[in-house]
Amino acid sequence: KQEVTQIPAALSVPEGENLVLNCSFTDSAIYNLQWFRQDPGKGLTSLLLIQSSQREQTSGRLNASLDKSSGRSTLYIAASQPGDSATYLCAVRSATDSWGKLQFGAGTQVVVTP
């Protein structure tokens, strides 16, 4: 069974620092990996989706890398801002799943202090 782990569970950085969030998964047979943002009491907003054949994906200040063989993905957020404060979750879709089921990590709660 696929297990997804995110470490650390919480992170606090001063504004302007770069953020590095880690995600690991136990089964390398994945279809894709997705990073989400969740604000308190809200649903999930998709940030980046990396297909299994890709090594990285970029959007603005966000960059996500994928190393399928080692079961790791990293989300980099450059020049953090207080508005980046949220919980960040990664989710993996298994290559053997026909219907698109996502397996989520527990998330990393990020606080960016002014």
With CB under 8 A as the contact rule, the residue among 35, 71, 73, 107 that binds another protein is 107
Buried-state track 16-42, b at ≥16 Cβ within 10 A, e below 16: eeebebebbbeeeebebbbbbbeeeee
By CB under 8 A, is residue 98 in contact with another protein?
yes
In angstroms, the CA 48 to CA 34 distance is: 6
Three-class secondary structure of residue 107 per DSSP: coil
Element at 13 (helix H, strand E): strand 10-14
Complex with another protein: residue 4 or 62, whichever CB lies closer: 4
By CB under 8 A, is residue 91 in contact with another protein?
yes
- In the shown chain, the binding pattern of residues 24 to 63 toward another protein, with x for contact by CB under 8 A and - for none, equals ----------x-x----xxxxxx--x--------------
User: Which parts of this chain interact with another protein (CB under 8 A)?
Assistant: 4, 34, 36, 41-46, 49, 89, 91, 98-102, 104-107
